Structures are given as structure tokens and as C-alpha cells.
Amino acid sequence: MAEAVQSCSNDELIAAFKEFSAESRDKISSALGTLQRPKACDLLKSLAEGLPRSRDLTSGAENDKVLEVAAALVDQDPESMLGPVAERCAEYPAIALEALYCAASKARLRKIEAAEGVHLTVLFAMYGETARIKPKSQESPHGEDFLRQKVKQVAWLFDGAPANFSWDIVAVDDGCPDQPSSTDVAKAIIEQEGWSNVRVIKLQDGIDKASPVANMGSTKDSRKGGSILYGLFEEATAGRGAKEHIIMYTDSDLSANCAMSGLLCANIVTDGHPISCGHRYGEPGALLIKDEGATKEPEATGGKPDKMIILFRHWVRGQVIPCVSMVKDTQCGFKAFRARGLPQILPDVANKQASFDVELLIRACSQLEKGSKGIGVVPIVFTEDFAASTMASSKQVGGKLEPGPAHLKMVTDIVDIRNTIVGSMAGAEALVTSDEALLAFLGGLELEHYKALISRLTEQDAALPAEQRDAMFDRAYTLGALRELAGTGAA
């Protein structure tokens, strides 16, 4: 057979290939791709040689290296490498992994077919970020220079894209108390750099002008959620002509590289998901970068200090709000939406706190067009950055995360969001549960009972065989068992 193939011309081989069925052609193409992948992986390993296992987000040199390595991979079919490399992520330095996902993102963006073009808006909230927005120094030991880096990442992604593809970045001040404020520092950087497509808006301005989305007494009523919702509304109503307008929101830090946002854009435009959610964990291919290097499932979730807090919260979401059960990582700051459907739903989002994502996703699901695929899930590389976090729920002591009021609130918020949805949205009953006993238990949990519940769930988890312990997001609980573990007694 090998001799026969060698004696054929290219035209003869192509003609023979076309005689196969579509299924057979796919199998042959897949097999040929598998033969090519080791070479591509070898290239990645050679590019990664000498790089550190972990990731320093404050290092400008490391941030530049990510894009340098990514540029060398873009034309090497990086998408086909994602699965094999993710499976062996421990073999690769964090910079190389991040670079691969950025390269795949750029490759996917290039393939998007949109006759009128695409415009991406990258949005993030700022609160107490005057240290991280500056370069690292003695005065700012956790400085990431994140605004300049985000601009560099998105500019790199769109370099070489079709002429009618464009982007901008919008930072939203969430009532930053610093002096000077995050807004003042950001505006100074924007003026210094001369950027025309980067700007800062303030949630307080939305409150002052009675924006239908900034319907709150003061910025103190927001905890990131208010500013993101206001920014989404302002950008979605600004219009980008006939272009496909996608708005992505992320975190202010560099934990998720904005050069990966092409993965979300393609998930929306090419794959047909009007809502696209990045996942740090819980999905094949999702990689979490820790101090010791990269981890995947089951280690990514299994090694987290708040493992059972996360798993219990996911179970609650799936029971109370089944329409978002596929989103295992609702709090990941890497989500994108088709802009055109947002103005109709954003004024009704009542939650302005840490759980705003859940209500936003539910309301977005209520507006899905007939035949739409709904929420798309995209695995990403995410670097944990607890050092300068402004979120209380991220605080650890000695590597341990004690269940506290912020974690309990994320559970009770799910019930509150469900009740708000039912009371304000037609057809909500089809998207949520009506199990009154479960809702009463979850909504009435007090802190001492919640702590007892998480503690006992953790003890039970530690006693499970490894196979069951690693079945992270497939856990199931009965209401009776939860009441007993929490010490709340019978109904």
C-alpha cells in the first residue's frame, strides 16, 4: 500500500481522497492531524525550555514572553495541540501553556467569518486598584501594570485580523476609595500612552444620571456587579454599526490573559453561542496555574482550599436554577455576550454584588432566540492571584479557607436571585425550581449551620475512595442528609 501511494501524483491522491465518504475523510484527517501533533508539541517544548514552572503576573518580561511564544505558535495549528498539551500540562511551564491558549485564540479569531466585521469591547471593574495598575516597585510590590498589559494583549490578538475587526477597552470605577483613585491613575496612563480606544467610566456618573442599570443609592451598593452591569449597558447601547458587537468582561488583574478572548468571540460568532463563559476549572482543558505550576482536573478543584464550598455551591445552583447548570465556574471573570440582546435584560438585573453573574446569565437565557445553542463553555488558562485580591471570599490563612459570611451569602443569593426572577420575569418558572422545602432550607441557613455543613461535607469527602473523591461536579445530596449535616434538624 505504501508503494502504491508513493507512486501516485498529488492530483491522483486528492481524487482518491474525494471518493471516500465524509465520515471516512474526517477519520483520515484526524489520523493525519495526530501524526502532526507530536511535532507541534516538540516545538512548544523547545520554546518553553528554561522558562519557570510558575507564573509571575508582576513581571513585564514574563508577560512579553507569553506573546512572543504565542506568535511562534499561531501558524502551527495550535487548536489541535490544546487537548494533548492540557492532558500533560504538568510537563509545561505556565508561560508556554498561556501562550498556547493565546495562539489558539488568535487562530480562531482569524477564521471568524463576519461580512460586516466584529467589534470586541473588553470591560473590567476597578476598586482599590491604584497599586496593581502600576508597574511593580517598592511602593507597589503587587503592581502588574495591568492596563498597559491588557492593551498589549488585545492589540496583539487583533494584529493581522480583517480590516473590519476592531476593539476597545473600558474600565469602570466601582467607587474606588483610593487617593488618587483608580480612575485618576488610569486616565493619566491613557493620556500618557495616547490611546484613543481605551477609556474610563464611573459607576457614580451612572447613578447621578439615573441610568436604568445604575439604580442604586450609592456605589457602596455595588460590589463589582453594579459597575460591570453599568459598563455592559453603556457599551451595548453605544452601537457599533452593522458589526457583530461582542462585550467581554474580565477582572482587573492579569489572571486571565485578554489575548485568549478570541476563543470567546469564536464561540459566539462561529459556534453560535450568544453567551460564552470561560472556565478556570471543572472542564476538560481548563488549566489553573498555582505557585507550583499548572494543574487540571481533578487536581484543579480537588486541590483548592475551598473545594467543598465550590462543589456545594455548584450543586445548589444546579438544583435551584437548572438553566445555568452547565456553568460550573460562574464567578470566572471571563465571560462574553452578544451586545444586541443586553439592553433589554440589564435594567432588570437586581443583584449588584458578587453573585450578579448568576442572575445575568439567567436573564440572558430568557432572551435566547429560537434554535440558539444557549450558553457556551470555553476552557481557559487562569493564574491564581490572591496576593492583592479585593474580594474577601478569596482570603486564606495558612493555605486554608474558612467558610464565612461571604461564602454563605453566595448560597443565599442564589435563592434570592431565583425568587427575584420568578417575581419579575414572565416564564421564569420554566428556568428555576419550585421545591419549596429546598428553598426554605437554603434561604434560611445561618452561618453556624453553614460552617457545620461545609466542615462535615469536607470530612465525608476526605473519607471517599479516590475515584469518588475525584468526581467533582457530579455530587448529589438529599435534603434530609443536608439538614442532618448542618444540624438544623428535621423539617
Identity of the residue numbered 452:
A
Q: Whole-angstrom Cα distance, residue 102 to residue 259?
A: 5
Pure H helices in 137-291: 146-158, 182-193, 203-208, 225-236, 261-269
Q: Any idea what DSSP says for residue 240? A: B
Residues 421 and 373 in one domain: no
Residue 447 and residue 370 in one domain: no
Last residue of a domain, one of 363, 394, 425: 394
Q: Is the dihedral of CA 9, 33, 101, 46 positive or negative?
A: negative
**pLDDT 10s per residue in the chain (491 long)?**
666 666 666 666 666 766 776 566 556 655 555 545 556 678 898 999 999 999 999 999 999 999 999 999 999 999 999 999 999 999 999 999 999 999 999 999 999 999 999 999 999 999 999 999 999 998 889 999 999 999 999 999 999 999 999 999 999 999 999 999 999 999 999 999 999 999 999 999 999 999 999 999 999 999 899 999 999 999 999 988 999 999 999 999 999 999 999 999 999 999 999 999 999 999 999 999 999 999 999 998 998 889 999 999 999 999 999 999 999 999 899 999 999 989 999 999 999 988 899 999 999 988 877 667 889 999 999 998 866 555 444 454 445 568 999 999 999 999 999 999 999 888 888 889 999 999 999 999 999 999 999 999 999 999 999 999 999 999 999 999 999 999 987 54
Give strand pairing partners of 394. Answer: none
Under 8 Å between Cβ of 89 and 296: yes
Residue type, 443: G
Q: Within a 10 A sphere around the Cβ of 56, how many other Cβ atoms?
A: 15
Count the Cβ atoms, other than its own, within 10 Å of residue 462.
9
User: Does 365 fall in a domain?
Assistant: yes
Assess if residue 257 is contained within a domain.
yes
Task: Report if residue 465 sits inside a domain.
Answer: yes
pLDDT score for 393:
44
Question: What 3-state DSSP class applies to 225?
Answer: helix
| Grid coordinates belonging to 7 | 507512486
Q: Do the beta carbons of residue 234 and residue 206 sit within 8 Å?
A: yes
Q: Are residues 388 and 470 in the same domain?
A: no
Please give the helix or strand (H or E) that residue 398 lies within, else none.
none
* 306: alpha, beta or left? (left if phi > 0; alpha if psi -120 to 50): alpha
Cβ proximity of 249 and 330 under 8 Å? no
Note whether 123 and 249 are same-domain residues: yes
Distance, in Å, from the CA atom of 249 to the CA atom of 171, rounded to the nearest integer, reads 10
Beta-bridge partners for 334: 250
Contact 151, 261 (CB under 8 A): no
Residues 130 and 190 both lie in one domain: yes
237 in the same domain as 341: yes
Please name the residue that has the C-alpha cell 480606544: 197
CA distances from 76 to 35, 83, 136, 162 (A): 13, 15, 34, 20
Domain match, 131 and 236 both:
yes
Q: Would you say residue 385 lies in a domain? A: yes
198 — phi, psi (to 5°)? -130, 130
All residues at 6 or more sequence positions from 221 whose CB lies less than 8 Å from its CB, including other chains: 352
* Total count of domains within the chain: 2
Instruction: Examine the fold and report which residue of 394, 424, 447 is the final residue of a domain before the chain moves on.
Output: 394
Q: Is residue 13 part of a domain?
A: no
Question: Is the domain of 331 the same as that of 298?
Answer: yes
367 lies in the same domain as 421: no
| CATH of residue 245 | 3.90.550.10
Amino acid at 481: A
Q: Do 389 and 423 lie in a common domain?
A: no
pLDDT at residue 391, as a whole number: 47
What was the pLDDT predicted at 385?
Answer: 80
What is the Cβ-side half-sphere exposure of residue 247, based on CA atoms within 13 angstroms? Answer: 23
Provide the residue range defining the domain that includes 321: 115-394
Q: One-letter amino acid identity for 359?
A: E
What span, in angstroms and rounded, lies between the C-alpha atoms of 326 and 369?
19
| Separation between Cα atoms, residue 166 and residue 159, nearest integer Å | 10
Single pTM value for the model: 0.87
- Look up residue 263 and give its three cell numbers: 476563543
> Which triple of cell numbers denotes residue 115?
461580512
pLDDT value, residue 394: 46
Asked if residue 45 belongs to a domain, the reply is: no
Same structural domain for residues 325 and 185?
yes
The CA distance from 375 to 365, in Å, is 8
Residue with cell string 466601582: 174
Q: DSSP character for 128?
A: S
> Which are the contacts of 179, defined by CB distance < 8 A and separation ≥ 6?
none
- My answer on whether omega of the bond before 274 falls inside 30° of 0, hence cis, is no
